[in-house]
Amino acid sequence: RKEVEQDPGPFNVPEGATVAFNCTYSNSASQSFFWYRQDCRKEPKLLMSVYSSGNEDGRFTAQLNRASQYISLLIRDSKLSDSATYLCVVTGQRGYSSASKIIFGSGTRLSIRP
Amino acid sequence: NAGVTQTPKFQVLKTGQSMTLQCAQDMNHEYMSWYRQDPGMGLRLIHYSVGAGITDQGEVPNGYNVSRSTTEDFPLRLLSAAPSQTSVYFCASRNGQTLNDYGYTFGSGTRLTVV
């Protein structure tokens, strides 16, 4: 089983729709969680951190469910510019060296159509 | 402020050749890492460094060497290129002091093809 798993998609939704993805992780000791966005043939860029209480940034909402070991990303009122691959990122356990080991999911492709 | 600079952007190697992928950052970040990205596999950690003079292996280190003689530079060496090393390589750095401070800055990537 992969340490971090995502539905690869693609999710193909119309502009204005609401779309949600989940990401599951296997290590219950994981400490921090993030969503990254990667455009085609570009480098990943941080979209938002995921906090235990859930957090929102404009049209984007991130949630963490430690009991079920998954994080989610909700995009409301989707725009054409939201088309990208969304990577979930889970950090390692406590400890100096292992804190540097960050696990990326393989990504969920999202395509917004006009 | 250039961020993370990777060179070259594209490279074609013959099987058995060696080469070095360069990575430099000008943000005085302590942590630097090399990842490879393959279709359906996501980003996999090759090697990482928590500071000058300190390196460690990641998930897929075989066939690669790194060194960290300065804070700024973290080159990745392919010892004897194999077709299985055809991939997109990303260098990343961050200045995280705590477990919650993980703003990774990525370079623009090196697309490597081994024939």
Pick from A83, A55, A84, A57: which is nearest to A71 by CA? A55
Alpha carbon B2 to chain centroid distance? 17
Q: Half-sphere exposure of B36 toward its Cβ, with a 13 Å CA cutoff?
A: 20
The whole-angstrom separation of Cα B35 and Cα B94 is: 14
pLDDT at B97: 53
Q: Which residues contact B15 (CB under 8 A, 6 or more apart)?
A: B81, B82, B83, B114, B115
Pick from B63, B55, B2, B14: which is nearest to B36 by CA? B63
Assign A99 a pLDDT band (cuts: 50, 70, 90): very low
A32 interfacial to chain B (CB closer than 8 Å): yes
- What mean pLDDT is predicted for residues A84-112? 78
The whole-angstrom separation of Cα A53 and Cα A13 is: 28
CB contact under 8 A, B45 and A97: no
Pick from A92, A93, A114, A105: which is nearest to A9 by CA? A105
Res. A31: pLDDT tops 90:
no
pLDDT at B102: 56
Dihedral of CA atoms B112, B105, A85, B59 in degrees, nearest 10, equals 60
Q: Which residues contact A82 (CB under 8 A, 6 or more apart)?
A: A75, A110, A112
pLDDT at A96: 45
Res. A94: pLDDT tops 70:
no
The H-or-E segment that residue A57 falls in is strand A55-57
Assign A56 a pLDDT band (cuts: 50, 70, 90): very high
Length of chain A: 114
The whole-angstrom separation of Cα A90 and Cα B98 is: 15
Higher per-residue confidence, A54 vs B61:
B61
- What mean pLDDT is predicted for residues A27-50? 90
pLDDT at B41: 77
CB contact under 8 A, B50 and A100: yes
Average pLDDT, chain A: 89
Tokens of residue B110, six digits: 């090196």
pLDDT at A93: 57
The whole-angstrom separation of Cα B60 and Cα A5 is: 18
pLDDT beneath 70, residues of chain B? 1, 96-102
Q: What are phi and psi of B65, to 5 degrees?
A: -125, 150
List CB contacts (< 8 A) between B99 and chain A: 31-32, 91, 94, 99
Residue in A8, A101, A105 closest to B58 by CB: A101
pLDDT at A80: 97
pLDDT at B50: 87
pLDDT at A36: 93
pLDDT at A95: 46
Dihedral of CA atoms A40, A90, A75, A59 in degrees, nearest 10, equals -100
CB contact under 8 A, A91 and B102: yes
List CB contacts (< 8 A) between B31 and chain A: 100
Pairing of strands B76-78, B64-66: antiparallel
